[in-house]
Amino acid sequence: MSDFCPVIWSEEPTPDHLINCRECGLYKHGSRMIWGEGNPDAPIMIILDNPGAREDREGNTIVCGTRQTLQQAAHKANLKMDDIYVTYILKRKPVRAYDKELVRQTCMMHLDEQIKTKKPALIFCLGNVAVQSFFQNPEAEVKTFRGTWHNVQGYQTAVAYHPLAVRRRPNLWSLFLSDWLFVAERYHKLNH
């Protein structure tokens, strides 16, 4: 792990026609929109529930715990940062209560558009919220869906725990890492 150092991913700008999107009402929470991070043309698309923070309270750029753990696992699985693009079910971070179902369904339309445009080779959903939203299945759970490939909207999709869950419960790290290795193995096979 000594050669691993988390990096600040570059941010993909929000498409012009959505910069002022207010469709779901989350703009009232005051968090800014983040469309995606990493390589916008990457073959592996990671889907998280929401972007979290890229800046601290003073506005300085940071690599938050979620991104650190995610990058650490990717590095361990022998994936390059360039292999990865990260996006979210919600493009803004909610900071108080909101109508979850309505907001997720609304913003998912943008995710669908993103996927159709980017056509990633593999999709990797992290955490129950991302899995339930993307699979359109409120019963879906990481613990039962992990370790196998699923066809979702025609895309090969794997799932794993949310990096924050892994940070809170370090015993999940080995499962998290094995899910990353599972994805990396398929990805490296696609390239040979």
Question: How far from the centroid of its chain's Cα atoms is residue 16's Cα?
Answer: 22
* Binding footprint of ligand SF4, residue count (CB under 6 A): 14
Q: Does 91 contact ligand SF4 by CB under 6 A?
A: yes
Shortest distance, position 52 Cβ to ligand SF4, whole Å = 13
Q: Does 18 contact ligand SF4 by CB under 6 A?
A: yes
Phi and psi for 118 in degrees, rounded to 5? -85, -30
Shortest distance, position 88 Cβ to ligand SF4, whole Å = 8
Of 54, 67, 93, 110, the one binding ligand SF4 by CB under 6 A: 110
Cβ atoms of residues 34 and 9 within 8 Å: no
Distance, CA of 75 to CA of 135 (rounded, Å): 27
Cβ atoms of residues 89 and 83 within 8 Å: no
Shortest distance, position 162 Cβ to ligand SF4, whole Å = 18
Of 40, 53, 62, 106, the one binding ligand SF4 by CB under 6 A: 106
Shortest distance, position 104 Cβ to ligand SF4, whole Å = 9
Which range in 39-47, 53-61, 106-114, 166-174 contacts ligand SF4 by CB under 6 A? 106-114
In angstroms, what CA-CA distances link 5 with 2, 103, 114, 147, 168?
A: 8, 35, 29, 27, 21
Where in 5-130 does DSSP place strands (E)? 11-12, 36-38, 44-48, 84-88, 122-126
Query: Which residues of this protein are in contact with ligand SF4, per CB under 6 A?
Result: 18, 21-24, 26-27, 33, 90-92, 106-107, 110
